[in-house]
Amino acid sequence: MTAREVPAITGSASEGASRRNRRGGSAAGGWGRESNLRHCHPVNRMERYRDSETFFSSSLSSRANPGNSFVGQTGSLRGTGSPALLVCTAGDLVTGAFCKSERQMHVFDLTRALIDIPSITPEEEQVGLYLYDYLSGLCSTHNGIVEKAEVEPKRCNVFACFGSPIVTLSTHMDTVPPYVPSRVDDEFIWGRGACDTKGIIASMIVAAERLLEKGVRDFGLLFVVGEERNSAGAQYAAQHPRGSKFIINGEPTGNKLALGSKGALRYELIARGRMAHSAYPELGDSAINKLLDALDAIRKVQLPVDDVLGPSTLNIGTIHGGRAPNVIPDEAVAEIFIRLVGDSAGTRKALAQAVGGALVNGVELNFVLEIPAIRLTAVEGLPTTVVAYTTDIPAFLGAWGHPLLLGPGTIHVAHTLDERVPKKELLDAVEIYQKMVLQLQKTQ
């Protein structure tokens, strides 16, 4: 895809939309259903709210009070030991409306609340339910539609729209391990997913709230599962588009618009040998030695370089093998990950030749996944960058519209124990996302 220019980001807009019953209705393309209540029903999930007096209920008790309302209990008010009780009418439960306090959560508080719900791939169920409930409240207030779609058992994409979406704000809800709870200082919010991508989700939601307060409609929010492993949620969404003309994908770019991103090529190497007593190695055949030889040959492969995206890179991500220190190993496995900068054919051929040349027998090179490198759109008025990581954008297959890539934070601290996102960039992202939605709507 070649870069093209979009007019400068300025101005505001306001329009109207329609609504339907979320619980009883259905939508074309697999969305709009109550997607397997056993797995997607919002019951008994963890919620934490630190340093905030803003609450909303994501778990309703089954008991009724004398006023024919149901009471949800969550957390405790800051500085008190008392639980915060939030009330919703029986009618709200019938229509699937979401009960929350009248005050919206600040982007910092929402970021921390999301971080404090572990969502390591493929365990996104609880954060998905949390987002579904939060967006249900937003849709109830602003005449929108919120839906979830079960990608796999206990794994649901969440989509909310207000009118007919021209622009969709989207990112993933899963994280890499290990789970790291949130903390905060004067400059940063820390924790797993702070920049990749819990803070981005919060910025997108708050931007949506601001747009709706201004009367702006015809946009959506899409949060998907599985980006950190195989883009399962994006692949599912690609099969069930909703008519969006643009998708703003959120990943940490320092709030700069990415002109391109590298692709991904994953392989698994399996080496097989024969066990023996380590005192008599000549009676065995070391699978680990075979694997090391194959990996050494792979490391010597010359990978391509692109003028825009830079060099293709190799990472040997995992190595497993052996039975015990005194046993000649009969099996060993490694996983490798290559960042693509162009067509993969030459790289795939070179890897096969390297492994075959190193050891003719005993090592398998098994293809796992490929995501192509992409070129993205420039928008006048926004600073640009190029990123080396892979995103969900290729998995959407263009089904959700022309892609753009932007988000707060830096990838340099993502996937680390020091993951964090600057508070200022979260606030800036709220404004940037609003402006992007408004300007992209004007192009239609």
Structure-token pair, residue 440: 């992209």
- Written as one letter, the residue type at 306 is D
Structure-token pair, residue 384: 């640009």
Of 124, 125, 227, 251, catalytic? 227
| Nearest-10 crossing angle of helices 423-442, 199-213 | 50
Edge-to-edge strands, sheet with 374-375: 374-375, 257-261, 384-387
Q: Is 268 a catalytic residue?
A: no
Q: How far apart are CA 49 and CA 115, in angstroms?
A: 11
DSSP state letters, 131-194: HHHHHHHHHHHHT-EEEEEEEETTEEEEEEEESS-SEEEEEE--BPSSP---EE-SSEEESTTI
Cβ atoms of 353 and 224 closer than 8 Å: no
Cβ neighbours of residue 110 closer than 8 Å, sequence gap 6 or more: 201, 202, 205, 206
Nearest to 340 by CA among 312, 319, 363: 312
Nearest to 403 by CA among 248, 235, 172: 248
Structure-token pair, residue 53: 């007096």
Cβ atoms of 200 and 409 closer than 8 Å: yes
DSSP state letters, 27-63: -TTS-SS---HHHHS--S------S----B-S-EEEE
Alpha-helical runs (H) found in 287-337: 287-299
User: Given CA atoms 85, 86, 90, 93 in this order, what sign does their dihedral have?
Assistant: negative
Q: In which residue are the tokens 């090529």 written? A: 265
Pairing of strands 402-405, 246-249: parallel
| Residues annotated as part of the active site | 227
